[in-house]
Chains A and B, each alone.
Chain A
Amino acid sequence: MGNMLEVRNLEVSFPDETDRIEAEPVNRAVKGISFSMKRGEILAVIGESGSGKSMTALSIAGLLPETAASSGQIVFDGCDLMALTKKERKAIQGKEISMIFQEPMTSLNPVMKVGKQVEEVLRLHTKLDKTERKKLVLKALEDAGLDQPEKLYHSYPHQLSGGMRQRAMIAMAMILQPQLMIADEPTTALDKRIQDQILALLKEINAKKQMGILFISHNLEVVKDFCDRILVMYEGKVVEEGTPEEIFYHPREDYTKRLLASIPEGKRTIGTAHTNRKKVLSVEHLNVYYPEKGGKLKQVIYDANFAIYEREIVGLVGDSGGGKSSLSKAILGLNIHTDGVIQHNTEHPQMVFQDPYGSLNPVRSIGWILEEPLRIQRKLTKKERREQVQEMLERVGLDKSYLTRRPGELSGGQRQRVGIALALILKSRFIIADEPVSALDVTIQAQILSLLKELGKEYGLSYLFISHDMAVINEMCDRILRLEDGRIYEEK
C-alpha cells in the first residue's frame, strides 16, 4: 500500500510586518519539513505552540492565512495539492480531507442550525436530494455518538455542550468518509472525561472507516495510546519521528526528552496528619446556589464540609459545569447566594485564574495592575508600593522592565506569572488556583507549576488547586477533593 500523503520540503513563512507582538513572540514558520502518512494511519504531530505544527496542518487542509507564503510539495493520493487551482482544491476540501479544530465552542456558525451545518458538506460535494441528505446527516450524528440526532438536527450550537459540539464537528468531518481527517488539538479545550470519549470515538472511526487521522497536539500524554506514529516538531522542524514506544521509552533527541520530563509524574506525597496544624479555611454545611436567568436560584453545592490546613495543597476535581467555580467564588465571597459556614483564618484569600489573557486589564501597564490592590489598601506610600511591586515581580521571575509593559506584550506564561504576583501582593496565605495552567503549553505548564510550589514553600502558602488534569493534580496536591453531583468527597 502506497503512501496516502507525502509532504516534501514544506515551508511556510509570514511577511515580517504582520505577526507582530502577538500572544507568543515566536517564529511560526515551517522550515522545510518532510514526512508521509499511510492510508488509515493515525499520525500525531507533537510540539509546543510556535513549533509549526498547526501551520503544517493548515497547509495540508488548504487553510493557510492569505498572508502566508508556502512552498514545497504536499502529495495527496498521487496529486500535488500545492499545484492545484483554488477550484480543484475546493473539490478536495471537506470531501477527501476534512478538519476539526481546537475550539468546539467557536468553530460552528452560531446562527445556523447544527443539522444544516453538517448537511452543508453534502450540499457542496454530492448531488443527493434533501431527504437523502437528511438521512445521512442523522446517521452521521448518531455515528458520532450523539443521542437524539433528530433533535440535534434542529438545534443551534449554543444549545450543545462543548463535547457535543466537538462530536457534531466530527460528524461533519466524517460524513463523506474522507481519506484524511486533520484534528488540530481537538480535545485540548475539553474536560478530561470528555477528552477520553472523543479520542475513543476518533479511534473507532479510524478503525471502521479506514480514515487516516493527522492528530496535532501539544500533549504527548494524550496521544500515547492513540496513535500509530509520532512526529515531534520544534521550531519549524521535525526533530524526531517514531512509534509511541520509541518516543516514550527510547527518545533520542534532547527536546523529546524534555517534553517527556515535563509530563507531571504520578508521585503524590501522602496526606500528612494535619490535626496539629492550623486551619486556614474551614467550610461547614455549605450550600451554594447559582442565580439563573430570571432570578431563580439553582443549588449547585450540597452540604459541603472540608478544611484546608497551613502549607497544604488540596486538589479539587470534578466535571466542568459541576460547580467548581461556584464553590471557589463562594469561598472568596464573590458569590453571596450561600448558606452554611465559611471561616477564613487568613486575610485576603486570593485567586489565580485560568485565563491569563482575559483576566488582566489590557489597557493598563503591569506595574499599574500589580499596584492596584495596594492602592486600594491605602496603607503604603507611592514609593513603598513601587518597591513592593518590583520585588514581587522579580519573585515570580520577571524583571522590572515588565513594569511598563501591557498584558498584550506578554506571552501566556508571563501573564500567568503576573497573575500569581497579583494574588500574592497582599501577602495572602491562602490561594485558590482555578485551572492555572490549562491554557498554557506543556513546557510552560511545568515552569508555572514549579513556581507555585516554590512560592508555596517560601511563603508558607495553602492552595486550593482546581484542575481537570489528573496528572497535574497528582503532581501538585497533598489531598484531593472530588466534586460530584454537587457533593464533596475526599479521595483516599
Chain B
Amino acid sequence: MKQIGKKTITLIITLLLISLAAFLAFQVIPGDPSLSVLGMDATEQQIAAYQKQMGLDRPLPVRYVSWVLDFVRGDLGESYHYGTPVSGLLGDKLPVTLALTVVSFLFILGLSIPFGILMARFADTRFGRLMNVINQTLMSVPSFFLGVLLILLFGLMLKWFTPGEYISYTESMTGFLLYLIAPAAAIAIPKTAMVIKFLRSSVLEQKKKDYVRTAYSKGNTDNRVLFIHVLKNSCIPVITILGMIIADTMAGSIVVEQVFNLPGVGRLLVSSIGYRDYPVVQAIIVYIASAVVIVNFIVDMLYRLADPRIREE
C-alpha cells in the first residue's frame, strides 16, 4: 500500500514535469503567436492589446500556473486556426482514437495469448514451425498496406462498411464499430504477431526452469504444467509489451487514420503542426505523454499483482 502511495506521488510529479516541458517548449519556439494570429503587418498597439487579452504580458511562472489550473479545469485554450476551444476539438477526436485503441487491444489480447501458448506448445513440431513463419510474415507487413488489404476484404468484398465513408459514433454506434474493425485489425495484426512471438519465447524460456521439473515430478500433465505453473510466470514480461502497445495506440496512428479516413488524434496533430496551431499541439503533447505515464503506472501495478517478488520490495 505504501508503495502504491509512493508510485502515485511519482506519477503526479512526472505529469507536472511533462506539463512544464510542454509549456516551456512553446515559449522558446521562435515566432510570436500574436503575429501568426494577427498577421505580419499588425501594429505595436494591436500586438500589445492581443497579448493583454490573451494574458501573454504576465510573467512566465504566473502564466504556467494559470495554464495548468485551466488545463485541470478542462480549459485547454483556444485554437489559433479554428478559433474554437481546444477541448472541443480534442473532445471530437479522442473518442475515435480511444475506441480504436480499445478495439485493437481486445483484438491483440484475444488472439495473442491463445496463439502464443499454442505455438509454444507445438514449438518443436512442423506445425509450430509453420506457424512461426506465418507469424514472422505478419509481423513484418506495414500497417498501411494491411489497411489497404483489409479495405479490400471487409469493405469491398464483405461490405461491412463503405470505404472512405466514415460513420461517426454520434450517427450510429453499430456503423461506427463496424467501420473500426478494419483499421483496428490493421493496427492490431503486426502487434499481435509481436506479442505472440514474445509470449512464445517467454513460455519456452520458463519451461526450462527448475520449478517446471518439480511440477512434473508431482505427476502433473503437460497441460497442467503449462497452464497452472508456466503461464503466469511467462505473462509477467509480456505485460510490459502490452503496456507499450496500448500507449502507442493511444497516441493515434497517423498512417492508419489517413488510410481509413478516420478523424483521430493522429491526424489532428499533423494538421495542427502544419497550421502552427500551438495550443492544440501543446494539448496533444500533454495528452500523449500522460497516456504513456499513466499506462506505465498501471503496468507497474499489474506487475506487482503478478509477481510476489516485486510486491515485497
A positions within 8 Å CB-CB of B: 61-63, 90-95, 98-99, 101, 103, 106-112, 120-121, 124-125, 156, 158-159, 169, 172, 293
Contacts and interface: CB of A to CB of B under 8 A. Distances in A.
Interface residues of B, number: 24
B126 interface: no
Given A109-B233, A111-B307, A99 B217 contact: yes
A158 B312 contact: yes
B309 A156 contact: yes
Contacts of A61: 217
Given A98-B218, A111-B232, 15 more contacts: A63-B216, A63-B217, A92-B219, A101-B213, A106-B211, A107-B214, A108-B214, A109-B233, A110-B233, A111-B307, A112-B232, A120-B215, A158-B308, A158-B312, A293-B313
B2 to A, nearest CB: 10
B171 interface: no
Contacts of A91: 219
Nearest to A103: B210
Nearest to B217: A99
Secondary structure type dominating chain B contacts: helix
B211 A109 contact: yes
B53 interface: no
Contact of A172 (B218, B232, B313): B218
Nearest to B229: A109
Given A111-B308, A112-B229, A63 B219 contact: no
A106 B218 contact: no
Given A90-B221, A120-B220, A109 B312 contact: no
A124 B217 CA distance: 11
B312 A107 contact: no
Interface in B210-255: 210-211, 213-221, 224, 228-229, 232-233, 236
A294 B126 CA distance: 51
Give the most central of B209, B210, B217, B309: most A CB within 10 Å. B217
B68 interface: no
Interface of B: 209-211, 213-221, 224, 228-229, 232-233, 236, 306-309, 312-313
What are the 10 closest A-B residue pairs judged by CB atoms, nearest first? A94-B218, A94-B219, A93-B219, A106-B210, A156-B308, A99-B217, A109-B211, A107-B210, A90-B219, A107-B214
Contacts of B228: 120
Contacts of A101: 210, 213-214
A184 to B, nearest CB: 10
Nearest to A106: B210
Given A94-B217, A95-B219, A107 B211 contact: yes
A107 B213 contact: yes
A321 B308 CA distance: 22
20 contacts: A63-B213, A63-B217, A90-B221, A94-B217, A101-B213, A106-B209, A109-B214, A109-B229, A110-B308, A110-B309, A111-B307, A120-B218, A121-B219, A124-B219, A124-B224, A156-B308, A158-B309, A172-B214, A172-B218, A293-B313
B230 to A, nearest CB: 9
A112 B229 CA distance: 8
Contact of A159 (B217, B306, B312): B312
A125 B309 contact: no
Give the most central of A93, A110, A159, A293: most B CB within 10 Å. A110
Contacts of A62: 216
Contacts of A120: 215, 218, 220, 228
A90 B312 CA distance: 35
B213 A124 contact: no
A158 B220 CA distance: 23
Given A159-B312, A293-B313, A110 B211 contact: yes
Give the most central of B214, B218, B220: most A CB within 10 Å. B218
Contacts of A158: 308-309, 312
Contacts of A98: 217-218
Nearest to A91: B219
A116 B210 CA distance: 17
A125 B307 CA distance: 28
B214 A169 contact: yes
B213 to A, nearest CB: 6
Nearest to A158: B309
Nearest to B210: A106
Nearest to B224: A124
Nearest to A125: B219
Contacts of B312: 158-159
B313 to A, nearest CB: 6
Contacts of B309: 110, 156, 158
Contact of A108 (B211, B220, B224, B307): B211
B217 A93 contact: yes
Nearest to A90: B219
Contacts of A63: 213, 216-217
Give the most central of B219, B224, B236, B308: most A CB within 10 Å. B219
Contacts of B213: 63, 101, 107
B306 A121 contact: no
Nearest to A159: B312
A107 B307 CA distance: 17
A62 B221 CA distance: 12
Contacts of B229: 109, 112
Nearest to A98: B217
A61 B214 CA distance: 11
Contacts of A172: 214, 218
A267 B216 CA distance: 45
B215 A109 contact: yes
A94 B228 CA distance: 17
